[in-house]
Structure 1
Amino acid sequence: MSEPAAAPLQLSSVQPAPPDAILGLTESFLADPRSDKMNLTVGVYKDDSGITPIMRAVKQAEQILIEGEKTKGYLPIDGMADYRNAVRDMVFDGKVPNERAAVVQAPGGTGALRVSAEFLADQFARPRVFLPTPTWANHGAIMNAAGLEAVSYRYLSADKTSLDLPGMLDDLSANARPGDVILLHACCHNPSGVDPDAQQWEQIAARITELKLFPLIDFAYQGFGDGLAEDSVGLHTMLRHVPECLVCSSFSKNFGLYSERTGAVVMMAADQAAASASVSQIKRLVRCNYSNPPRHGASIVATILGDEALRRTWKSELMEMRQRIHRLRESFVKGMQEVAPDRDYSFLLSQKGMFSFSGLSPMQVDQLRSEHGIYLVGSGRINVAGMAEDRIDWLCEKVAAVL
C-alpha cells in the first residue's frame, strides 16, 4: 500500500508567536498617545530627555575610523584581532595567562550566550544548565534553543530584596551533578540588581569547585555597578577557584553600542591546547550560523581601548552614567519616603546597575500602565536608568497611588 502524499508546506498554516514579554511592552509604549508616559521596561540606558545617547568617545572613535578605514571586507570567523585582545585584557585583567585565554567575537551578549550554549551542547553531551531564580527572561529560551535543559536554583530571598545564599548553595548541592553548567551574573544582576559581596563570591566559587560545575558567566554590565575593576570581583574570584570557564561579554551598555551588536565569548581553558581546540570548534559552529561577526562596533571598542586619551574619556562618561543611576535610586527612595512613609524602599540603594524589583504586584503594574502611562515589566522589575530626574516626584506620586 502506498503511503499518503505529504501535505505541501504552506506559510498560511503558521500561527503567530506571542509577543516578547519585554519588547512587546515597548511596542505598546510607543503606540501610547499620552505625552507624560514613562518607559521603565527594556534594559537600555537613557538620559533625562529619554534618549539613549551616543558616547563622546564613541563619536571620536568613529571619526578616526571614517578617516582611516580602508575596507569593508569580512572579518575572520573569530573576529578582529585587536578587539579580541582588548576584550581579553578588559575582562581578565591579566588574571589568566594569555596562552590559556581565548576570545571569539560575537554579535552582542545574546549572540555570545547562544554561541556558548551551542558549543556546550555540541561538545559535552548536552549538559544541564542551572539558572538563577529569577534571571534575564531570555536565558532559558537561549539554552533551550541550543538543546540544553535549563534547571533553576534559588537566588533571591522571598522578599526579593537580598541574596538567598544558603538556598542557592543548598540547591546546587542537592541537585547539581559534576559536569553540569551553572550560569552566573558577574555583576548588576538582571532583573534584581542584587549581587553577592566579595565574601559570598568566595563561598559560591568554593561550592562550584567542590561540585565540579562549569561556570558560564554573563558579564553584560561591567562598569555599571561600582566600577570596571569593582564589578569584576566575582569573575576574578571564580578565576582563582575553577580550572576553566566561559564568559559572555557585552559592550551594549558600557559603550552604548546597543545596535552595533558587539560582544564576545571569552574563555579560560586549562591549557593552550584546550583553548585552541575549543576555539576551532566554536568557529565551526559560527561558520554555519552567521559566518562572520560585524566590524563597526568591534572597531569602535578596539579604537577606544587602544588609545589612552579616548579610554580616559570613555571611563569618565561611564562614571557619569553610573553616578546618574545611583542618583536616580537615591531620589526615588527619598521621594517614596515622602509620599508613602509606611513603605521602605531603602533596599534599592544597595542594589547595583540598571535594574531592581519594585515590589509591585502584577495588578499594580497593570494599573500604573493603564491609568498613568508608566510601563513596568509584569514582575515589577524597573529599569532605574529609564527614570527622568526632573520627574521623580511625579513617578513617586503615581506609584504611591497604586500601593
Structure 2
Amino acid sequence: MAMLNFDVRFAHTASAACDEKYSKPPSSSISVGAVIGIIAGSLLVVSLVIGVLWWTFCLRRKSTLEQDLKGVDLKTGKFTLRQIKAATNNFDVANKIGEGGFGSVYKGLLSDGTIIAVKQLSSKSKQGNREFLNELGMISAVQHPHLVKLYGCCIEGDQLLLVYEYMENNNIARALFGPQQCQINLDWPTRRKICIGIARGLAYLHEESRLKIVHRDIKATNVLLDKDLNPKISDFGLAKLDEEENTHISTRIAGTYGYMAPEYAMRGYLTDKADVYSYGIVILEIISGKSNTTSRAKDKSFYLLDWALILKEKGDLMEMVDPRLGSDYDREEVLLTIKVALLCTNVSAAARPTMSSVVSILEGQTAIQEIMINDTSVPKDEITAMRKHHQLIQEANLADSQTHSMSIEGRWTGSSSSIHDLYPVNPDSDYLQSRN
C-alpha cells in the first residue's frame, strides 16, 4: 500500500513537472530576426500612414485652393512651376532678394525678357491659404499706377507663388533708414512725389475703385519704389473690403504696431481712416528720414508722432526735417506736408481727412485747415491707455531679440506683426551688389 502511494505521488509529480516544462515557452523562442522583422513591419506601416495623410493633406489643400480660385475673378495670368523655376534658376539663392513672414522673394527673368519678383509661400508661414487668396483676389481686382502690379500666380503641388512686377529700388524703409550701403539719396522733390503718390494710391483704394478697400498695413516697408522712384503700395494680404459706407468693420486686429490707428489698435474699430492714420506716420518717416520706432537705447525710445507733437507745441516743426536734405528744399512745402501728417494722425478718426483731400492739399488745390489736435474728442483715459499700449509694445520689442525691428544703428530687417514685406532688405543679395 505504501508502495502504491509512492507510485501515485511520483506519477503526479512527474506529470506536473512535464506539464510545467511544456507550458512555459522557451525564452529564446522569438529569434532576433523575427524581432527585426516585426519592428521593420511596424515602421513600414507607420510610414505608409504618414505618407497617406501627407498626400491627402496636399491633395485637399490643392483642391481647396483650386475650389476657392473658381470664385475669384482673376485679372492676372497663371504660371506653371516649370516657368517659375526657369525664371529664377530653380530658386537659386543668388536670386533671393528678401524673406519675410510669407516666405522668400526671388528675382526672376521670364522668357520674354520681363523681370519679375516671385513671392513664395513658405511651408512654415503663418500666412495661410486665406491670406494668400485674399492678396490674390484683392490686388488682381484693382489696378493703379501707385499699386504694385500682380502678373499672376502659380498653384502647383505644395507650391503657392505670387508673381509681381520687379521694383528696382526696394522700399522706402530701406531707402531712408536701412543699412548705410542700402540707402538712397532722396531729395525733397522726390520725397514730395512719393508722399503724393502714396496718397493717390490710397485715394483710389478708398474712393475710386469699384471695390472699396482698407489696406490695414500701410507702412514704409510696404511702399515699394520703381526704377524712377515712383511709389507703389504692396502687400494686400490683410486688406478688407469696406462694403458699407459710413460704417466701421469690427474685425480681429492685424497689422503693424506703431502704424495702427488708436481706435483700431484698442477696439478693432476699422474704417478707411485707419489707413489715413498709417499714411500720416509714413509721411513723418519720409520727412524725418527716421523710422517711427527707432530705438537707440531702451531709455531713449520714441515715436515720431510723439516727437512731432512736442515740436508743434514748441513751434518748431521744421526741426523734424532730415538733416541729409541740408537747406535745399522748399520750406513752405515741407511745413505743409508735416501739417498734413499731423492732421492724418489725429487721435479722432472723424477729424482725419479723406485721402482725396490729402492729394488736393499736397498738390496745392485746397488750403489746409488750421491743425487742431483735439484730445477732447476722445476720452482722456482712452488716450492714456493708447499711449501705454504703444509703450508696452515698444518695450516688448526691445526685450525680444527675435522681434523684427528697424534700427538706424543696427542691421535692418522688416518690421511687422502681420505679413512681412514683399522686399525685406537682404544686404548680401545679388541685386544689391549689382546695384552698387
| TM above 0.5 | no
**Rg comparison, structure with higher value:** 2
So what's the TM-score if we normalise by structure 1? Answer: 0.26
Larger relative contact order, structure 1 or 2 (CA cutoff 8 Å, min sep 6): 1
